[in-house]
Amino acid sequence: MHVLLLQFVISFIFFSSMKMMKSAMIKHLYSEIDRLKQEVYAAREKNGLYIHRDHYLYEEAEKKAMAEKIERMELDSDSKDKQLMELQEFYNSHLLLTAELTEKLERTEVLLIWVVNSSHHLSNLQNFIFLQSRFTKK
């Protein structure tokens, strides 16, 4: 007896849920039919291709949002271009400064070598003069 009652309850729940799903599907189809009717009505009233006001407003809102997004992206792109130009100028000025400093370093190295060599020659000359003076005094 309990088994029969359980089967009856299960069958009742199954058919109830099927009926609810069917009911939801029918509601959805009716709303879609109403939307299409509105579009057909709008098209009959006007010459050309027309859509329902709600759809038109939705499309316009999306178009406006897209235009604003494009404008923001263009501003961002302009900002990035300006930043890139500033960085390029900074890089170029540092290349020039590096070249100038490298040239100055090379000249300083040459001058240092000359000074060192000159000091050796001067030292040698002083030694020569010293030795010569010692020999001439004797």
| pLDDT for the residue 69 | 92
Instruction: State pLDDT tens for residues 75-88.
Output: 989 999 999 999 99
| CA 130 to each of CA 50, 69, 138: distance values in angstroms, whole numbers, following the listed order | 114, 89, 13
| pLDDT for the residue 49 | 62
Instruction: State pLDDT tens for residues 4-44.
Output: 666 666 666 666 666 667 777 788 888 888 878 877 777 77
Domain positions in the chain = 1-49
| pLDDT for the residue 86 | 93
Task: Answer yes or no: are the C-beta atoms of 43 and 49 closer than 8 Å.
Answer: yes
For 54, the token pair is: 């709600």
105 Cα distance to chain centroid: 41
Instruction: State pLDDT tens for residues 54-70.
Output: 878 888 999 999 999 99
- Residue 137 in this model has a pLDDT that exceeds 90: no
- Residue 47 in this model has a pLDDT that exceeds 60: no
Report the candidate in 17, 35, 36 with the shortest Cα–Cα distance to residue 25: 17
Give 135's pLDDT tier (boundaries 50, 70, 90).
low
The C-alpha atoms of residue 94 and residue 91 are separated, in whole angstroms, by 5
- The H or E element that residue 134 is part of is helix 53-137
